[in-house]
Amino acid sequence: MKICFIMYPWEGIKAKQDSTIRLVHECARRGHDVAITTPQNLTIRDSITLSDCRTIITHQKISKSITKFYQSVKFENGMRELKGFDVIFMRDNPPLDPFVLNFLDSVKDEAFIVNAVNGLREANNKIYTAAYYDPEKEIIPITHVSKNIDYLLRIIQQSDQDKMIMKPLDGYGGRGVIVIEKSAKDNIRSLLEFYINKSKGESNYVILQEYVEGAENGDVRVLMLNGKPIGALRRKPAKGDIRSNISAGGSVEQYKLTKKDRVLCDTIGKKLVKDGIYFAGLDIISGKLIEINVLSPGTIVDINKLNNVKLQVDIIDFLEKVVAENEIKKGNFISKDIYEN
């Protein structure tokens, strides 16, 4: 299989903790044609979409150790056409540059893109989860997305809870997530103005959300592959913080999905697959879905360690299967062993 990772720069990777390098390594280990590139390198030349790629040279020894692989793997550099790849795996950090989606639009019928362009377009901010239709409020916490300051103030005043969560619509890594205490009412208008009003008449939407009880004990991250959970862990906030994100100082521990979590994964999983979101990370607190991370969910390394598994194997198995099925559809030769699992 020919696979291209559009990702954050290779030079900055911390091999011990990085999820993407495990995916790259797994592909290289299996002898696939593996290229890596960054959004920075995407180019159109004479109506053809290309990227300046670093392609892993085939017929070199691929070290078993990820750190050694990172230090010693040899690449050859050069422009490659994106439509020549079977799979394009988006592993860039948020926030998503919407122009990247336009580049990918031009090859979406030729390559299998994880996640699909329309899925990324729809789900790359928190409106996707907030707008999920859940009239009985079984899965989604009570959530308001707005930039109407008077409306948001009214919601806070009318709430029976003494605290609520506020966060930027397109935030990540826990940035800007705060608790609003009703008792701090003299500060709230100023805070809302600060979050919403930008300079020169521009403004941001914010999320105001029910504080989900149990968040003090952390949240649960579930990795979803093709609509099914493949691994999970609990993240606990650092002392004196409400945010469980690892980048905000949270720590990890083992977690077994409850029945309620499984029902949630099943329900959301169907929507994810329908929307072309084959690989995603769900953030769950007390059985409620807080966020769906579709761009470049991490935690593969932590789940691997906690559960003694190798999730990258499942992920690359899935991609190989999709590519094999696509080959069948195109009428190309396919080796027999693929039918057998």
Ligand X SMILES: Nc1ncnc2c1ncn2[C@@H]1O[C@H](COP(=O)(O)OP(=O)(O)O)[C@@H](O)[C@H]1O
Indicate whether 180 belongs to the interface with ligand X (CB under 6 A).
Answer: no
**Radius of gyration, alpha carbons of the chain:** 21
CA angle 228, 170, 195 (to 5 degrees): 145
249 C-beta neighbours (distance < 10 Å), count: 15
Q: Which two tokens stand for residue 239?
A: 């002392």
> Which H or E run includes 305?
helix 300-307
Q: Which of 37, 209, 296, 299 binds ligand X (CB under 6 A)?
A: 209
Sheet containing strand 143-146, edge to edge, reads 143-146, 206-210, 163-168, 178-181
Q: Which is nearer to ligand X, 171 or 276 (CB)?
A: 171
Q: Which is nearer to Mg ion, 283 or 320 (CB)?
A: 283
Q: Are 259 and 250 in contact (CB under 8 A)?
A: no
Q: Of the ranges 31-39, 180-188, 207-215, 306-314, which one interacts with ligand X (CB under 6 A)?
A: 207-215
Q: Which of ligand X, Mg ion, none does residue 320 bind to, with CB < 5 to 8 Å depending on kind?
A: none
**Strands, DSSP E only, in 75-227?**
75-81, 87-91, 112-114, 143-146, 163-168, 178-181, 206-210, 219-225
Q: Which of Mg ion, ligand X, none does residue 227 bind to, with CB < 5 to 8 Å depending on kind?
A: none
Q: Which is nearer to Mg ion, 42 or 207 (CB)?
A: 207
Q: Which residue has the tokens 């930039």?
A: 147
Q: Of the ranges 116-124, 146-154, 196-204, 212-220, which one interacts with ligand X (CB under 6 A)?
A: 212-220
Which residues ranging from 282 to 311 are in contact with ligand X (CB under 6 A)?
A: 283, 285, 290-291
Q: Which of Mg ion, ligand X, none does residue 70 bind to, with CB < 5 to 8 Å depending on kind?
A: none
Give me the DSSP letters along 54-112: EEEPSSS---SSHHHHHHH--EEEEEEEGGG-SEEEEEPPSSP-HHHHHHHHTTTTTSE
Residues 150-179: x where in contact with ligand X by CB under 6 A, - otherwise, as a string: ---------------x-x---xxxxx-x--
Residues 266-305: x where in contact with Mg ion by CB under 5 A, - otherwise, as a string: -----------------x-------x--------------
Where along the sequence are the contacts to Mg ion (CB under 5 A)?
283, 291
Where along the sequence are the contacts to ligand X (CB under 6 A)?
141, 165, 167, 171-175, 177, 209-212, 215, 219, 237, 242-245, 283, 285, 290-291
